[in-house]
A = this chain, B = another copy of it.
Amino acid sequence: AAAVAAQRRHASSTPPLGFIGLGKIGSGMVINLIKGGESLIVFDPSSAAAKAVEGEAAKAVASIAEVAHDARVVFSALPDDNVLQAVSSELLPKLAARGDRPIHVSCSTVSPSISRALSEAHAEKEVGFVSAPVFARPDGMRRGEATFPVSGPDWAKETVVPLLKKTALGVHDFGEDAGAANVVKLGGNFLIAAAIQSMAEASALAESYDVDREKFISLMSSTIFDCLIYKGYGHRVAARDHHPYPDAHFALDLGSKDVSLVHSAAAQARCPMPVASLLRDRFVASQNSGRGKLDWSAVALKASEEAGSKQVAEAITRLENGRSS
């Protein structure tokens, strides 16, 4: 009770934070920031999303302008480069008008090039732009298990990092170039997608020799690959369980967007990434097979299909019918 009272005092004595974009990740961050004693001004084009987090410490407003009016530090968690560009066009002039060195914290998975461009545009108007894309699924975010790479001007990070720590297991500083944190995030998502594809191929090989694919993956993910990604996605791949469980999935459509971002960021830097090229094609092909709404681990189904697996057709029918067993 004393701690809660202290939080209330803190919340009432410090200026509110702004938050734009209340999807699964954004709303999870808002809830964690409130738990951390912050109060917020929130906005989402969907009033249902805004209402879901509204409460004593989170005031929903009807426009980006109102967020910028009330908050000096504004977070955004948005689906892609285009939406971030559109939101920034509206947000930046309003923040600049405050004249108190405001800060925009971008938590979206976007290209390093848009972060670099926005960083310059913000700096010209004496607004800080901090890039802080997040590694977390909605359920992990709620448990405070998120990891944030962060980059941007040091003066702005001084304010932002302690706030991010209220909604993360770890915050990792990658310097002043705002694009750096995005490169880290894209590199990480690429590693996850590559692990999914590798496990898909290895499981298909096992199955083609009548070796139990679940037993094989479970041995790997409990010994030399004993980590979150191989355990979680390993189970999904081996069992062909690609259902979009609420709060514990990442849609293949979004995964495809991320892998395409990796591919174009690599092309822009003239960095050949043969596995990334292969992944991009497989994600697009999986979307064309109507799997965009499944968990992104469903990219693994192609390996089974190509191997002529007798079991995969049944699994696909089950997934299409939305049954989980």
A interface residues, Cβ below 8 angstroms from B: 112, 135, 147, 149, 169-170, 172, 174-175, 177, 179-180, 183-184, 186-188, 190-192, 194-195, 197-199, 201-206, 208-212, 215-216, 219-220, 223-230, 262, 265-266, 269-276, 278, 303, 306-308
Contacts and interface: CB of A to CB of B under 8 A. Distances in A.
A132 to B, nearest CB: 14
A191 B180 contact: no
B191 A220 contact: yes
A204 B308 contact: no
Contacts of A174: 211-212, 215-216
B192 A195 contact: no
Q: Which of A149, A174, A273 has the most CB of B within 10 A?
A: A273
B191 A202 contact: yes
Given A149-B219, A198-B190, A206 B183 contact: yes
Contacts of A199: 191
The 7 A-B residue pairs with the shortest CB-CB distance in the complex, in nearest-first order:
A227-B227, A208-B269, A194-B198, A187-B202, A208-B271, A271-B307, A201-B273
B211 A184 contact: yes
Nearest to A226: B227
8 contacts: A183-B209, A188-B202, A191-B199, A191-B225, A201-B275, A205-B269, A224-B227, A226-B227
Q: How often does this chain occur in the complex, in copies? A: 2
B274 A188 contact: no
Q: Which of A199, A201, A270 has the most CB of B within 10 A?
A: A201
Q: Which of A112, A230, A276 has the most CB of B within 10 A?
A: A230
Contacts of A225: 191, 195, 227-229
B197 A270 contact: no
Contact of A205 (B149, B187, B223): B187
A134 to B, nearest CB: 12
Contacts of A201: 190, 194, 273-276
A303 B229 CA distance: 23
A178 B223 CA distance: 22
Contacts of A191: 198-199, 202, 220, 225
Q: Which of A112, A202, A230, A275 has the most CB of B within 10 A?
A: A202
